[in-house]
Amino acid sequence: MFAAALTEVILASEHAPITWQAVATAAVAYAVAPVPDIDQPESWVSRHLPGASIVSMFVRHRTLTHSLLASLLLYLVLFGLGFHIPQWLATGIVVGWVSHWLIDLVNPMGVQLFYPLPWWVKPPVPWLAIGVESAGETVIRVALTAFVLIFALAYLLLHAPVEVQRAAAHLLPAARRLVGAVTWPWLGACCRFLHLT
Ligand SMILES: [Zn+2]
Protein backbone atom coordinates (compact mmCIF):
# COMPACT_ATOMS: atom_id res chain seq x y z
CA MET A 1 0.00 0.00 0.00
CA PHE A 2 2.91 2.32 0.71
CA ALA A 3 4.22 1.57 -2.81
CA ALA A 4 0.86 2.56 -4.32
CA ALA A 5 0.71 5.71 -2.17
CA LEU A 6 4.27 6.68 -3.10
CA THR A 7 3.53 6.16 -6.82
CA GLU A 8 0.45 8.37 -6.56
CA VAL A 9 2.44 11.13 -4.84
CA ILE A 10 5.18 10.88 -7.49
CA LEU A 11 2.66 11.02 -10.36
CA ALA A 12 0.89 14.00 -8.80
CA SER A 13 4.22 15.76 -8.18
CA GLU A 14 4.98 15.33 -11.88
CA HIS A 15 1.46 16.56 -12.80
CA ALA A 16 1.05 13.28 -14.69
CA PRO A 17 -2.05 12.91 -16.85
CA ILE A 18 -4.38 10.01 -16.06
CA THR A 19 -3.37 7.30 -18.53
CA TRP A 20 -3.25 3.51 -18.47
CA GLN A 21 0.53 3.83 -18.03
CA ALA A 22 0.03 5.82 -14.83
CA VAL A 23 -2.31 3.16 -13.44
CA ALA A 24 0.07 0.40 -14.60
CA THR A 25 3.02 2.10 -12.84
CA ALA A 26 1.13 2.01 -9.53
CA ALA A 27 0.05 -1.60 -10.13
CA VAL A 28 3.62 -2.71 -10.90
CA ALA A 29 4.97 -0.88 -7.82
CA TYR A 30 2.28 -2.59 -5.71
CA ALA A 31 3.23 -6.01 -7.11
CA VAL A 32 7.01 -5.53 -6.82
CA ALA A 33 6.99 -4.02 -3.30
CA PRO A 34 7.01 -7.37 -1.41
CA VAL A 35 9.89 -8.79 -3.48
CA PRO A 36 12.87 -7.52 -1.36
CA ASP A 37 11.62 -9.84 1.41
CA ILE A 38 12.78 -12.74 -0.76
CA ASP A 39 15.60 -12.81 1.87
CA GLN A 40 13.14 -14.10 4.48
CA PRO A 41 12.05 -17.77 4.22
CA GLU A 42 8.62 -17.05 5.78
CA SER A 43 7.80 -14.13 3.51
CA TRP A 44 4.99 -14.29 0.96
CA VAL A 45 7.45 -14.10 -1.97
CA SER A 46 9.67 -16.90 -0.65
CA ARG A 47 6.67 -19.15 -0.11
CA HIS A 48 4.97 -18.46 -3.45
CA LEU A 49 7.79 -17.89 -5.95
CA PRO A 50 9.33 -21.22 -7.04
CA GLY A 51 12.97 -21.41 -5.98
CA ALA A 52 12.84 -18.04 -4.19
CA SER A 53 13.52 -19.55 -0.77
CA ILE A 54 17.10 -20.34 -1.89
CA VAL A 55 17.92 -16.61 -1.65
CA SER A 56 17.26 -16.55 2.10
CA MET A 57 19.92 -19.25 2.60
CA PHE A 58 22.60 -16.88 1.36
CA VAL A 59 21.30 -13.40 2.12
CA ARG A 60 20.54 -12.26 5.65
CA HIS A 61 17.13 -10.62 6.15
CA ARG A 62 16.97 -6.81 5.57
CA THR A 63 20.55 -6.55 4.28
CA LEU A 64 21.47 -6.75 0.57
CA THR A 65 17.96 -6.63 -0.89
CA HIS A 66 17.07 -3.71 1.41
CA SER A 67 20.18 -1.67 0.59
CA LEU A 68 20.87 1.46 -1.42
CA LEU A 69 23.36 -0.64 -3.37
CA ALA A 70 20.71 -3.10 -4.62
CA SER A 71 18.33 -0.25 -5.45
CA LEU A 72 21.06 1.54 -7.38
CA LEU A 73 21.99 -1.63 -9.30
CA LEU A 74 18.33 -2.27 -10.12
CA TYR A 75 17.97 1.31 -11.34
CA LEU A 76 21.12 1.06 -13.49
CA VAL A 77 19.99 -2.24 -15.04
CA LEU A 78 16.52 -0.90 -15.85
CA PHE A 79 17.49 2.58 -16.99
CA GLY A 80 21.17 2.48 -17.85
CA LEU A 81 21.74 -0.61 -19.99
CA GLY A 82 19.57 0.42 -22.93
CA PHE A 83 17.12 -2.50 -22.66
CA HIS A 84 14.22 -0.35 -23.92
CA ILE A 85 12.02 -1.44 -21.03
CA PRO A 86 8.76 0.54 -21.10
CA GLN A 87 9.04 3.59 -18.85
CA TRP A 88 5.96 2.70 -16.77
CA LEU A 89 7.32 -0.80 -16.09
CA ALA A 90 10.84 0.32 -15.14
CA THR A 91 9.48 3.14 -12.96
CA GLY A 92 7.00 0.82 -11.23
CA ILE A 93 9.73 -1.71 -10.44
CA VAL A 94 12.12 0.89 -8.99
CA VAL A 95 9.44 2.74 -6.99
CA GLY A 96 8.03 -0.55 -5.65
CA TRP A 97 11.47 -1.78 -4.64
CA VAL A 98 12.52 1.49 -2.96
CA SER A 99 9.16 1.86 -1.20
CA HIS A 100 9.80 -1.48 0.50
CA TRP A 101 12.91 -0.49 2.42
CA LEU A 102 11.58 3.03 3.01
CA ILE A 103 8.64 1.64 4.99
CA ASP A 104 10.87 -1.04 6.57
CA LEU A 105 12.88 1.82 8.13
CA VAL A 106 10.13 2.21 10.73
CA ASN A 107 10.64 -1.40 11.83
CA PRO A 108 12.36 -1.83 15.25
CA MET A 109 15.08 -3.94 13.59
CA GLY A 110 15.69 -1.35 10.86
CA VAL A 111 17.52 -2.19 7.64
CA GLN A 112 21.17 -2.50 6.65
CA LEU A 113 20.69 0.38 4.24
CA PHE A 114 24.37 0.93 3.46
CA TYR A 115 25.18 -2.78 2.93
CA PRO A 116 27.94 -4.07 2.78
CA LEU A 117 28.72 -1.54 5.56
CA PRO A 118 27.48 -3.06 8.82
CA TRP A 119 25.25 -0.13 9.94
CA TRP A 120 21.61 -0.78 10.71
CA VAL A 121 19.38 2.22 10.10
CA LYS A 122 16.41 2.16 12.46
CA PRO A 123 13.89 4.59 13.98
CA PRO A 124 15.74 7.17 16.14
CA VAL A 125 13.34 6.78 19.08
CA PRO A 126 11.62 3.56 20.22
CA TRP A 127 8.07 4.97 20.05
CA LEU A 128 8.53 5.55 16.30
CA ALA A 129 9.28 1.86 15.75
CA ILE A 130 6.39 -0.25 14.48
CA GLY A 131 6.68 -4.02 14.72
CA VAL A 132 5.48 -6.54 12.14
CA GLU A 133 1.86 -7.58 12.76
CA SER A 134 1.51 -5.01 15.56
CA ALA A 135 -1.51 -2.77 16.13
CA GLY A 136 0.56 0.12 14.78
CA GLU A 137 1.05 -1.75 11.51
CA THR A 138 -2.70 -2.27 11.17
CA VAL A 139 -3.30 1.46 11.73
CA ILE A 140 -0.71 2.36 9.08
CA ARG A 141 -2.14 -0.18 6.63
CA VAL A 142 -5.69 1.15 7.04
CA ALA A 143 -4.50 4.77 6.80
CA LEU A 144 -2.45 4.06 3.65
CA THR A 145 -5.33 2.17 2.01
CA ALA A 146 -7.67 5.08 2.74
CA PHE A 147 -5.11 7.54 1.40
CA VAL A 148 -4.57 5.55 -1.83
CA LEU A 149 -8.31 5.37 -2.56
CA ILE A 150 -9.25 8.91 -1.51
CA PHE A 151 -6.25 10.46 -3.26
CA ALA A 152 -7.01 8.58 -6.51
CA LEU A 153 -10.63 9.80 -6.41
CA ALA A 154 -9.54 13.39 -5.67
CA TYR A 155 -7.00 13.34 -8.54
CA LEU A 156 -9.61 11.85 -10.88
CA LEU A 157 -12.09 14.56 -9.92
CA LEU A 158 -9.56 17.35 -10.57
CA HIS A 159 -8.93 15.89 -14.05
CA ALA A 160 -12.58 15.09 -14.81
CA PRO A 161 -14.67 16.86 -17.47
CA VAL A 162 -16.22 20.18 -16.40
CA GLU A 163 -19.73 18.68 -16.14
CA VAL A 164 -18.52 16.09 -13.62
CA GLN A 165 -16.68 18.75 -11.63
CA ARG A 166 -19.82 20.93 -11.63
CA ALA A 167 -21.91 18.02 -10.34
CA ALA A 168 -19.40 17.41 -7.52
CA ALA A 169 -18.59 21.09 -6.94
CA HIS A 170 -18.89 20.73 -3.14
CA LEU A 171 -16.03 18.20 -3.16
CA LEU A 172 -13.66 20.24 -5.32
CA PRO A 173 -12.08 22.42 -2.57
CA ALA A 174 -11.26 19.35 -0.45
CA ALA A 175 -9.86 17.49 -3.48
CA ARG A 176 -7.70 20.51 -4.37
CA ARG A 177 -6.41 20.76 -0.80
CA LEU A 178 -5.55 17.05 -0.61
CA VAL A 179 -3.81 16.84 -3.99
CA GLY A 180 -2.06 20.17 -3.39
CA ALA A 181 -0.76 19.01 0.00
CA VAL A 182 1.15 16.08 -1.52
CA THR A 183 2.19 17.63 -4.83
CA TRP A 184 5.83 18.33 -4.12
CA PRO A 185 7.77 20.16 -6.88
CA TRP A 186 11.12 18.92 -5.50
CA LEU A 187 9.95 15.30 -5.79
CA GLY A 188 8.71 15.91 -9.34
CA ALA A 189 12.09 17.46 -10.24
CA CYS A 190 14.01 14.53 -8.68
CA CYS A 191 11.90 11.98 -10.57
CA ARG A 192 12.25 13.81 -13.87
CA PHE A 193 16.02 13.93 -13.30
CA LEU A 194 16.00 10.14 -12.74
CA HIS A 195 13.62 9.61 -15.70
CA LEU A 196 11.07 8.08 -13.33
CA THR A 197 8.17 9.37 -15.39
ZN1 LIG B 1 11.58 -6.13 4.19
3-state SS class at 95 = helix
Using the mean position of ligand 1's atoms as its centre, give its distance from the Cα of residue 127 in Å. 20
Instruction: Count the Cβ atoms, other than its own, within 10 Å of residue 63.
Output: 17
- 130 CB neighbour count, 10 Å cutoff: 17
Name the CA dihedral angle for 71, 57, 114, 126, rounded to a multiple of 10 degrees.
110
The percentage of the chain sitting over the pLDDT mark of 90, rounded to a whole number, equals: 75
pLDDT at 82: 83
- Residue-level pLDDT at 132: 84
60 Cα–ligand 1 center, Å: 11
- Which stretch of 32-41, 85-94, 98-107, 126-135 has the lowest confidence by average pLDDT? 126-135
Cα of 131 vs centre of ligand 1, distance in Å, is 12
Instruction: Say if residue 100's pLDDT is above 90.
Output: yes
Calpha distance 175→12 (Å, rounded): 12
Q: If DSSP codes are grouped into helix, strand and coil, which group holds residue 111?
A: strand
Q: How far is the CA of 36 from the centre of ligand 1 (A)?
A: 6
- Position 51 scores a pLDDT of 81
- The 10 Å Cβ neighbour count of residue 44 is 13
- State in Å: Cα 82 to ligand 1 middle: 29
Cα of 62 to ligand 1 centre, how many Å?
Answer: 6
CA–CA separation, 151 vs 129, rounded Å?
26
- Residue 34's pLDDT band, with cuts at 50, 70 and 90, is very high
Do 6 and 107 touch, CB atoms closer than 8 A?
no
Would you state the pLDDT for residue 57? 85
Q: How far, in Å, is the centroid of ligand 1 from the Cα of 61?
A: 7
pLDDT tens column, 143-154: 999 999 999 999
The number of beta carbons lying within 10 Å of the beta carbon of residue 177 is 10
Contact 25, 95 (CB under 8 A): yes
> How much distance in Å is there from the Cα of 53 to the middle of ligand 1?
14
Residue 148 Cα to ligand 1 midpoint, Å, equals 21
The pLDDT assigned to 163 comes to 94
- CA of 162 from ligand 1 middle (Å) equals 43
Res. 50 pLDDT band, cuts 50 70 90: confident
Determine the distance separating the centroid of ligand 1 and the alpha carbon of 104, expressed in angstroms.
6
Q: Calculate how far, in angstroms, residue 39's C-alpha sits from the geometric centre of ligand 1.
A: 8
The residue type at 149? L
Q: How confident is the model at residue 21 (pLDDT cuts 50, 70, 90)?
A: very high
Dist. CA 69–CA 65, nearest whole Å: 8
Q: How many Å apart are CA 164 and CA 162, to the nearest integer?
A: 5
